[in-house]
Amino acid sequence: MNATLLGCAAAALVGIGLYGLIVHPHPLRKILAFNILGNGVFLLMGVVARRGAAAGFGGDPVPQALVITGIVVAFSATALAVALLLRLAEVSGRASLTPDAADPSIPAAPGRGDA
Amino acid sequence: MNPANLGLALDFGLSTLALGIAIYAIAVRTTYAAVVSFVAYGLLLALVWIRLAAPDVALTEAAIGGGLTGVLLLGAAARLRVTEAGVEKERPGRVLRALAALLAAAVTAALIAALLALPTPAPTLAYEAAAGAPATGVGNAVTATLMAFRATDTFLEKVVLLLALLGVWSLARDDRWGGRPGLRHQADPKGVLVFLARLLPPIGIVFGVYLLWVGADEPGGAFAGGTVIAAMWLLAIMAKLADTPPIAHRGVRLLLVAGPAVFLLVGLGGLAFGAAFLSYPESIAKPLIIGIEIAMTITIAVTLGLLVSGAPERVDR
């Protein structure tokens, strides 16, 4: 069945996004990978909706409406993440998420590593 | 070739292409190339949504997923280019990458297993949606779901958009609060960008309003319409024909709260005169829904445009 084929592609997108999220050190690439992961989840919901085709609809309209809401919320989260990242780069001059990266200009936080 | 095989071949081709571009977007070295391929991938995803018989989602995905997210990430990639080399040395080693690939493959396999284990016949709310739609006066079941059956979700989603914008604004430096978001764009006044920014907005705005209006009965709706209008505004901003407004501007604030405010008023009206929060009297359900959608489209357009523009960075002197 066609929906199952597209469902497998959606599951693969989740895997591809997850891999990128873990492996990429640059936060912007992580944000992009997270969007790909999210697309996979939305598509899986689309496949579930397609399976629920009935009453003359090509797919169950309720999950489809939820996905539309989800896409908009995902976009606003992405915009917030990008703004945080730009601010981080402006303040620290770097775009690294690793707190321990040797940066002589930032003194080590006192008390860290104790107990 | 019979139509069923043709459809299968189309699905196979589309998913292979989308997966290939997604892998490229993850694997490629430069962030710029990754973002450009992400935009192409977003448009392909819209085609996949068409194949899943979800044209409303396809419109939203093409406009927001591919278009606006693409613009947002492209702008960020350009500003963060200098930081790319510094992060490169933090790339994890071969063992960690292999483990990540293993984990990703396991998650994918589990999802496919769950997909194949889904019950047949599939549970569906399509009958309930079809039975309830006439009472709303809206012919498009997805719009009826967004604006009536699950209107609380849509209302809260508007609030989430506003909260996200507040979050973005709060990242401004203290001395720039109330100023204009983003850097001033530079554009060649005789270039293609400026030409298109003069040519397209009249068409785009009409198309956005059309999407809103037709969304009651056909694929479309406030999200897709508002996004198209936001895109036209951003095009004019990028071509330096317009500028982002100062965020302290009272008119901008009013436009930002117009959608949720109308939504909330109608909801409270339902509580006061009707059965429950956001319950519409059947006789005026459609005018109420259209009224909310018009206010929402304006708010969505302004909010999305400002979300892409980012934190305030320039104060007029």
Number of domains in chain B: 2
For the cut 80, the answer to whether the pLDDT of residue B127 exceeds it is no
**Do residues B58 and B207 both lie within one domain?**
no
Same domain, B51 and B167: no
- Type of residue at B236: A
Establish if B265 belongs to a structural domain. yes
What average pLDDT does the segment B109-127 reach?
83
Same domain, B198 and B280: yes
pLDDT at A1: 55
Is residue B117 one of the residues assigned to a domain?
Answer: no
Q: In whole angstroms, give the CA distance from residue B167 to residue B174.
A: 14
User: For all residues of chain B together, what is the average pLDDT?
Assistant: 85
pLDDT tens digit sequence for B92-113 = 888 888 998 999 999 999 999 9
Residue A103: what pLDDT? 52
| CA separation for the pair A35, A13 (Å, rounded) | 10
SS3 letters for B31-51? HHHHHHHHHHHHHHHHHHHHH
**Interface probe with A: pick from B39, B68, B127, B142, most Cβ of A within 10 Å:** B142
Residue B63 sits at φ, ψ, to 5 deg, of -75, -50
| Neighboring chain B residues of A10 at a CB cutoff of 8 Å | 111
pLDDT in tens, B237-261: 888 888 888 888 888 899 998 888 8
Query: What are the pLDDT digits (tens) for B43-57?
Result: 999 999 988 888 888
Q: Is the pLDDT of residue B65 over 50?
A: yes
d(CA A40, CA A42): 5
User: What is the rounded average pLDDT of the residues A63-79?
Assistant: 90
CA distances from B142 to A65, B22, B169, B198 (A): 5, 28, 32, 34
Could you tell me if A6 and B51 are in contact, meaning their C-beta atoms sit under 8 angstroms apart?
Answer: yes
- Decide if B16 is inside a domain: yes
**Residue A104: pLDDT above 60?**
no
Same-domain status, B48 and B139: no
pLDDT for the residue B229? 92
One domain for residues B20 and B68: yes
The verdict on A41 touching B (C-beta cutoff 8 Å) is no
On whether residue B122 sits in a domain, the answer given is no
Tell me whether residue B99 is in a domain.
no
What confidence category does residue A110 fall into, taking pLDDT thresholds of 50, 70 and 90?
very low
**Does residue A106 sit at the B interface (CB-CB below 8 Å)?**
no
Question: Is B168 near chain A, with CB under 8 Å?
Answer: yes
Mean pLDDT of B21-36: 90
Residue B295 lies in a domain: yes
ipTM score for this prediction = 0.88
Cβ separation B57–A67 shorter than 8 A: yes
How close is the nearest chain B Cα to the Cα of A100, in Å? Answer: 11
Contacts of B154 in chain A (CB under 8 A): 69
State yes or no: pLDDT of B22 exceeds 90: yes
User: Could you state, in order of their start, the residue ranges of all structural domains in chain A?
Assistant: 2-91
Q: Note whether B216 and B278 are same-domain residues.
A: yes
Average pLDDT, chain A: 81
Q: What is the pLDDT of residue B317?
A: 65
User: Do residues B143 and B228 share a domain?
Assistant: yes
The CA-to-CA distance between both ends of chain B, in Å, stands at 68
pLDDT in the model for residue B163:
93
Same domain, B137 and B12: no
CATH 1.10.8 applies to domain A2-91:
no
**What pLDDT is recorded for position B288?**
82
Share of chain B above pLDDT 90, in %: 22
**Are residue B210 and residue B289 in the same domain, yes or no?**
yes
pLDDT above 50 (res A42): yes
Question: Which of B91, B119, B154 finishes a domain?
Answer: B91
User: Domain limits at B35?
Assistant: 1-91
pLDDT (average), residues A20-27: 90
Asked, for residue B114, whether it belongs to a domain, the answer is no
User: Residue B53's pLDDT is what?
Assistant: 84
- Please judge whether B51 and A13 are an interchain contact, meaning their C-beta atoms are less than 8 angstroms apart: no
Interface of B with A in 192-231 (CB under 8 A): 221, 223
Hey, CA dihedral for A37, A42, A48, A53, is it positive or negative?
negative
Q: Tell me whether residue B156 is in a domain.
A: yes
Q: Residue B73: CB partners within 8 Å, gap ≥ 6?
A: A28, A31, A32, A78, A82, B35, B38
Quote the pLDDT of residue B11.
86
Q: How far is CA B83 from the centre of its chain?
A: 28
